[in-house]
Chain A
Amino acid sequence: MSITDEMIRQATADLYSWALRKVPDDTKAAMAAAMETETSETARKTLAMQLRSAEMAEDKNTFVCSDSGVPVYFVKIGTRAPISGDLKKSIRAGYEILVDTIDPPLLQHVTNPLTLERSYHGKDMPIVSYDLESDAEYVEITCSPKALGSGRWASLELFTFPSLEEIETYVLDVAIKAGAQHCPPVIIGVGIGGTFDSCASLAKKQTLRTIGSVNEHPELAAMEERLTKAVNSLGFGPMGTGGDTTALAVHVDFSSGHGFTPVAVCFNCWINRRTRARLWGDGRIERME
């Protein structure tokens, strides 16, 4: 009994397909809750329409948005997982299967940044990062395809020994610059510290956190509350036509580092594409979300 190539291919293809068709339950619940407190009539109508779009996509088994993004996967390999398949090759193969078989078909969004040619394929596609999970007996794959609308507005700045005020002001300024270009209400991920590369990864992973989950660090939980309120005070609202609901959540994580402190900010649009499955040695592909 082991985690096979076939299972990895299947999970890779399914996770992407699911992400295009289903808005996560926590996200829908957060939007429904926002409708209760939203003071702008236009914003309430937009939120209602977003929820209707999500429901129609599920009913018709079709895509919520035409920009299916570029494929992005996060893989956690349990150190005790019985793996017989080649994870790297099979994830690539699974993505190829998806491109060939998904219905409705994808648009060609994978872009060569040097020539601007578009395709389904390209160098380093799909984008996969690997991590280890101590003592786990599974392989966990998360899929979070990234589209242009929200991908475009992420930002990272390097500070030296910044105060909390500087950090929070930076996050606010990135939110102001993004305005409503990223299809709000958004989920904002913030990373503080580490190095250039690890900080960006921290921020991205925070967009994948369940809305409503409580940060285990009390000082970050308080920062999340302040920043969520601050971003929503900007008034951009759903799709930028005004309102109190610009961010459904701000999630923050930090790493120790040197005195140079990167701060990274990134966004998921309201569709909040995020699916996750665990692959077990007994052949099960357990859909987590």
Chain B
Amino acid sequence: MAEHELTLPMSREAVELLNAGDSVYLSGEIFATAGMPTHDRLLKCLDGKEELPFDFTGGALFHLGSLIEESPDGQMRIRYMNPTTSTRFNGFMPRIIPGLGLRFTGGKGGLDAACAKTMRACGCVYLSFLGGGAPIITSAIRKIVAVGWPEMISHYRVVKLEVERLGPLVVGIDAKGQSIYDSTRDAANARRASIIEQMRIEREA
């Protein structure tokens, strides 16, 4: 599998060169949030009921929860950051990806086939982060650029960050619609009958 050093922002043509299974290190600006209410609110923005906190066009919005600490002088820093389960947002992403114009999304656990279809149509890639990778992921943060919706609890906010060599991340779903999550699940289902038979043979041995 290929390994890529990528700098954001990236064009549609450039992300279409990435293949499911490739390894990626990301540098540049990203957005992070882990909130279900945040996704609700993003949809409200797309319905014209509220202003988006940022222009996300061509950007990267990842399902990452972070603890933001504010010092007495108002300086903010992130103590730790780590992915959350993306499949919780399956119902949101088919609108959010094209609505915000995302080039990358990601987190852990992948997204479903409907999301993969949207990603193919829009030229968007899903990156898999290491669950339980907080020390590695946090060490790639260079600075907080801005915090959107600061009135929300820490991991629900939308944080704009500058990162350097964030990774390695794995391309879980590429912009051609190839999904590691779908292919591993299909393979597991296909093996189910033979695994059950193998257990029977071992039980009766």
Contacts of A78 in B (CB 8 A): none
Given known contacts A66-B80, A172-B192, A242-B184, is B132 in contact with A183 (CB within 8 Å)? yes
Is A138 among interface residues, defined by CB-CB distance under 8 A? Answer: no
Q: How far is the CA of A45 from the CA of B134 in the complex (A)?
A: 17
Is A241 among interface residues, defined by CB-CB distance under 8 A? Answer: yes
Central interface residue in A66, A116, A230, A270, by most chain B CB within 10 Å: A66
Is B38 among interface residues, defined by CB-CB distance under 8 A? Answer: no
Tell me how many residue pairs across A and B have CB atoms closer than 8 Å: 171
Is B118 among interface residues, defined by CB-CB distance under 8 A? Answer: no
In the complex, the answer to whether B81 meets A66 with C-beta atoms within 8 Å is: yes
In the complex, the answer to whether B184 meets A236 with C-beta atoms within 8 Å is: yes
Which chain A residues in 262-286 approach chain B with CB under 8 Å?
269-271
Which chain B residues in 66-123 approach chain A with CB under 8 Å?
66-67, 69, 79-82, 84-85, 87, 108-110
In the complex, the answer to whether B184 meets A49 with C-beta atoms within 8 Å is: no
Contacts of B203 in A (CB 8 A): 164-165, 168, 222, 226
Which one of A51-59, A189-197, A207-215 contacts B? A51-59
Which one of A1-9, A103-111, A252-260 contacts B? A103-111
In the complex, the answer to whether B82 meets A237 with C-beta atoms within 8 Å is: no
Central interface residue in B87, B184, B185, B187, by most chain A CB within 10 Å: B184
Is A62 among interface residues, defined by CB-CB distance under 8 A? Answer: yes
Is A118 among interface residues, defined by CB-CB distance under 8 A? Answer: yes
Is B176 among interface residues, defined by CB-CB distance under 8 A? Answer: no
Is A239 among interface residues, defined by CB-CB distance under 8 A? Answer: yes
Is B168 among interface residues, defined by CB-CB distance under 8 A? Answer: yes
Contacts of A104 in B (CB 8 A): 67, 69, 79-80
Which chain A residues in 204-225 approach chain B with CB under 8 Å?
222
B50-76 CB mask vs A (1 if < 8 Å, else 0) is 000000000000000111010000000
Q: Return the contact of A42 from the options B1, B66, B87, B110 (Cβ within 8 A).
A: B1
Q: How far is the CA of A50 from the CA of B195 in the complex (A)?
A: 28
A38 to chain B, nearest CB (A): 15
Closest B residue to A118 by CB, please name it.
B153
By a beta-carbon cutoff of 8 Å, the part of chain A in contact with chain B is 41-42, 45-46, 49-50, 52-54, 56-57, 60, 62-67, 104-108, 116, 118, 148-149, 152, 164-165, 168-169, 172-173, 176, 179-181, 183, 222, 226-227, 229-230, 233-237, 239-242, 269-271
